[in-house]
Amino acid sequence: MFLKYRYIPNYLSLFRIVLTPIFMIAMFQNTLFFKLISLKIFFLASLSDFLDGYIARKYNFVSNFGKNIDPISDKFLVISSFIVLSILYPSIIPFWMVFLIVLRDVLVTMLRYYRLSISSSFQTSFIAKRKTLIQIVIIHLILILHIVEPSYILDNQYLYYMVLFSVLLSWFSAFSYIFPAKK
């Protein structure tokens, strides 16, 4: 009976992938209803990110599939969200920021699979986990403002600097993968 719950973390990661295009479609509908729906979908997807890791660690439901699908679903959600927000608010999230986030994630993902192919371990760093959390918090903040007061987003340089900080943190977190510490 307990064995049938073993794949819940993987289902949650796959659920996040399914929610992402729905979130993107809802974001492009310029009505209050769809703005609320997009916030709820993003919140639900973010919650699934927390829950899949928590359940996998607490009950030792760790699998090779889960180790691969979880970071991919995280990247898919965050990158897709930044792309949509960049289209809607290019002065706050310019294309070059999104490009740098995507480039970092592609490089780290390629490095992950390379290291796994040579049987080396590849653990997500503490700073990379915090980077994802900060990106998700920033996206939530922008989504809330998107509902409440979209003009505030355009007039607020703080949001620009928050996204810039997340870009810099993304690249800072990549250095531990690109230049691993010698043991």
Residue at 183 is within a domain = no
Which tokens sit at 172? 């800072």
* Per-residue pLDDT at 155: 77
Contact 12, 48 (CB under 8 A): yes
Class of residue 86 by CB neighbours under 10 A (exposed 0-12, middle 13-18, buried 19+)? buried
Task: Indicate whether 20 belongs to any domain.
Answer: yes
pLDDT along the chain (183 residues), means of 10: 78 96 96 96 96 90 87 95 96 96 94 80 82 96 91 84 96 85 59
Eight-state DSSP code of residue 6: T
pLDDT of residue 1: 46
Domain with residue 134: its CATH number is 1.20.120.1760
- Tell me the whole-structure pTM to 2 decimals: 0.91
C-alpha separations of 179 from 101, 129, 176 in Å: 18, 18, 5
- Give how many domains the chain has, as a whole number: 1
What was the pLDDT predicted at 179?
79
- Integer Cα distance of 44 and 41 in angstroms: 5
Dihedral (Cα; 78, 83, 85, 88), 10-degree rounding = -170
What tokens does 143 get? 């989504």
Domain extent, residue 122, equals 2-178
- Sequential DSSP letters for 122-180: -PPPHHHHHHHHHHHHHHHHHHHHHHH-HHHHHT-HHHHHHHHHHHHHHHHHHHHHHSP
The helix or strand, by DSSP H or E, that contains position 76, with its residue range, turns out to be helix 64-88
Residue among 20, 166, 24 nearest 100 (CA): 166
CA distances to 89, 97, 100, 151 from 108, in Å: 27, 17, 12, 35
- 43 inside domain: yes
Instruction: Output the pLDDT for position 181.
Output: 62
Torsion sign (Cα): 9, 10, 16, 19: negative
